[in-house]
Amino acid sequence: MRRMPRASSGPEVALRRELHRRGLRFRTNFKVLPGRPDIAFTRARLAVFVDGCFWHRCPDHGVLPRNNGEWWRVKLDRNVERDREKDAALALCGWVALHVWEHEPVSEAADRVEARWRSLLADRAGRIGSRGSM
């Protein structure tokens, strides 16, 4: 498991390419945030994680191996628990976490990310605009 790459998986790279093609600019594997998000939009404070179906217990595709099943169940349950912990830590920092499954079509995942990004930027602009009118 130590040899498993931590960054730039195929689904992650495909999503980054699509987001970049749409004109969105971001940081990758942003180490200063909890959980080291795969994609981070610093202005919008949006952290995107591309989750693998096996490692994060996808409800559609996540299966437990038959060999050593109890050990894997505990390990994968801890991964999901850790995901919740890092989402909470990001929220405390004022960031929004968004999770994308590796099996999602890239265009649909990019649509979700872009919509959330635009929403957060609009909310932020509204807050800044309302402060300036006082």
Would you state the pLDDT for residue 17?
A: 97
Return d(Cα 31, Cα 14) in angstroms, integer. 21
Residue 2 lies in a domain: no
- pLDDT one-digit tens code per residue, 103-127: 999 999 999 999 999 999 999 888 7
Residue 130 lies in a domain: no
b/e burial code for range 85-120 (CB count within 10 A of at least 16 → b) = ebbeebeeeebbbbebbbebebeebbeebbebbeeb
Residue 35 lies in a domain: yes
| The pLDDT of residue 38 is above 90 | yes
Question: Angle CA(120)–CA(104)–CA(1) in degrees, nearest 5?
Answer: 100
Would you state the pLDDT for residue 25?
A: 97
Which phi and psi angles does 17 have, rounded to 5°?
Answer: -60, -45
Residue 116 lies in a domain: no
Return d(Cα 99, Cα 57) in angstroms, integer. 13
Residue 101 lies in a domain: yes
Show the tokens assigned to 76: 């994968």
Is the whole model's pTM more than 0.85, yes or no?
yes
Residue 53 in contact with residue 64, Cβ under 8 Å? no
User: How many distinct structural domains can be found in the chain?
Assistant: 1
Residue 111 lies in a domain: no
User: What does the pLDDT average to over 74-95?
Assistant: 96
User: Mean pLDDT across the chain, nearest whole number?
Assistant: 90
Residue 122 lies in a domain: no
Residue 125 lies in a domain: no
Torsion of CA 25, 84, 56, 105, to 10 degrees: -40
CATH number of the domain to which 74 belongs: 3.40.960.10
For 51, the enclosing helix (H) or strand (E) is: strand 46-51
Residue 36 domain boundaries: 10-106
